[in-house]
């Protein structure tokens, strides 16, 4: 469920017409619904309500400070994968003891930053990382709570570029090596073992891979406890999918996910951490764009819009589908025709969809790309010297720009010409 609906023939974000926002900030822009973000967090929180747990929002999905502050006010922790994300979480008011540090390539500088600022735990991904973390923590005179991310070699049945739990993926330590790795960590004075971490991928639409992975985590928990380790926290990652196509069957609900967690791990007495990102933010955002030209080609028509692959790269990168709808609601019975919807960038890959059935749209008409709240703005770039587009947050009948569009002067002034090239 989201809060983007037609009212009096105009698509609204909560109680604000998208035409009003477009008139104020120009297109293209991202718009997020506060009500949808908070609802999706609460649904996940309630799914584990009878267990000791913390929902740590995976902020790589959407790391705008306003979004982070909104979720932090609901009680969310944060899952971060870089020093920059850690600083964003802190800037949004999230205390260190609610921030989990994940990621395969943590640097010494990032470790120092996070250890000085406070952290809930490190999710270790390799033996070299654990030795470096122990060294850095020892130099700072602190002890660090750690889990080990184990790779359970489970096929998440998702896109190859967002699968993380198979043996050929770069993430984690093979689960078969886990007992030996935990034994080695126990020898390191600055590291405190507290639990296990697992994450098998993103956009999962089937609960069975979760069940399979959690059963392996259960078995590992029992073995590690028998080896004398304290396992009191299980970080289960995120990855539950969202319905990008409204016509398809909906993915499993958080309540169903919670049931799998209880059935496989509920009697172990462990605190449960989960790291949803896409499910919280994905359907809470739209990308709104204008038609620049309607172009007739050889055997097909094109809608050339002012959004491009630098604004929303998912279709080019993942062949991802986004439902696309006119902002002005077509009259009942309006005929549709197939069109290619493309951006203005000089790349054939700058294509959002091919032969999509759309009602008639003309130059200047507005369209909205649904399910664009996750991995949209955070993956955008200034390719072709196109400014990053605004992000807008709506709450009820109010809206605010939470990241403005930079001017061309601001973009140009970031570049520096060396003295030997100056006139």
Just list the catalytic residues.
346
55 touches 78 (CB < 8 A) = no
Instruction: For residue 394, list its beta bridge partners.
Output: 33, 399
DSSP state at residue 332: T
Nearest to 103 by CA among 75, 88, 125, 128: 125
Cβ-in-10-Å burial (0-12, 13-18, 19+) of 350 comes to: buried
Cβ(12)–Cβ(18) under 8 Å? yes
d(CA 403, CA 311): 14
**What tokens does 54 get?**
């913390």
Q: State the Cα torsion 57-63-66-72 to the nearest 10°.
A: 20
412 vs 124: CA distance, rounded Å:
40
DSSP-assigned letters across all residues of 21-88? HHHHH-SSEEEEEHHHHHHHHHHHHHHTTTS-EEEEEETTS---HHHHHHHHHTT-EEEESSHHHHHH
Pairing of strands 337-342, 351-358: antiparallel
Spell out the residues 6+ positions from residue 91 whose beta carbon is closer than 8 angstroms to its own. Answer: 65
The backbone region for 395, taken as left when phi is positive above 0, alpha when psi lies in -120 to 50, beta otherwise, is beta
Report the distance separating Cα 144 and Cα 135, nearest Å: 11
Q: How far is CA 161 from the centre of its chain?
A: 14
């Amino acid at each position: 469920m989201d809060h983007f609906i037609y009212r009096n023939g105009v698509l609204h974000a909560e109680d604000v017409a998208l035409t009003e926002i477009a008139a104020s900030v120009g297109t293209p822009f991202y718009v997020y619904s506060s009500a949808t973000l908070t609802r999706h967090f609460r649904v996940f929180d309630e799914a584990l309500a009878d267990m000791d747990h913390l929902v740590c929002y995976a902020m790589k999905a959407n790391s705008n400070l306003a979004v982070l502050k909104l979720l932090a006010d609901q009680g969310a922790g944060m899952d971060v994968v870089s020093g920059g994300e850690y600083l964003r979480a802190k800037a949004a008011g999230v205390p260190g003891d609610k921030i989990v540090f994940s990621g395969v390539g943590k640097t010494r500088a990032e470790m120092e930053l996070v250890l000085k600022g406070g952290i809930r735990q490190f999710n270790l991904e390799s033996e070299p990382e654990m030795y470096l973390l122990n060294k850095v923590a020892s130099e700072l005179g602190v002890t660090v709570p750690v889990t080990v991310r184990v790779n359970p070699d489970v096929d998440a049945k998702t896109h190859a570029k967002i699968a993380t739990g198979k043996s050929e993926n770069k993430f984690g330590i093979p689960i078969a090596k886990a007992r030996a790795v935990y034994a080695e960590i126990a020898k390191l004075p600055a590291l405190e073992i507290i639990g296990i971490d697992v994450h098998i991928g993103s956009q999962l639409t089937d609960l069975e891979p979760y069940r399979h992975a959690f059963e392996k985590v259960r078995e590992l928990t029992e073995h590690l406890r028998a080896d004398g380790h304290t396992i009191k926290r299980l970080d289960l990652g995120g990855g539950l999918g969202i319905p990008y196509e409204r016509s398809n069957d909906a993915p499993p609900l958080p309540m169903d996910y919670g049931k799998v967690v209880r059935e496989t791990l509920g009697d172990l007495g462990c605190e449960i951490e989960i790291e949803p990102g896409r499910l919280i933010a994905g359907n809470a955002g739209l990308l709104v764009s204008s038609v620049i030209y309607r172009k007739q080609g050889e055997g097909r028509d094109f809608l050339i819009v002012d959004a491009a692959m630098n604004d929303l790269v998912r279709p080019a990168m993942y062949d991802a589908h986004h439902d696309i709808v006119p902002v002005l609601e077509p009259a009942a019975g309006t005929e549709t025709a197939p069109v290619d919807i493309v951006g203005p960038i000089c790349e054939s890959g700058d294509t959002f969809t091919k032969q999509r059935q759309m009602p008639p749209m003309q130059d200047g008409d507005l369209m909205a790309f649904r399910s664009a709240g996750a991995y949209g703005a955070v993956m955008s770039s200034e390719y072709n010297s196109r400014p990053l587009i605004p992000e807008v947050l709506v709450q009820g009948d109010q809206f605010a720009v939470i990241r403005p569009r930079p001017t061309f002067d601001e973009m140009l002034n970031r570049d520096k010409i060396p003295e030997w090239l100056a006139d």
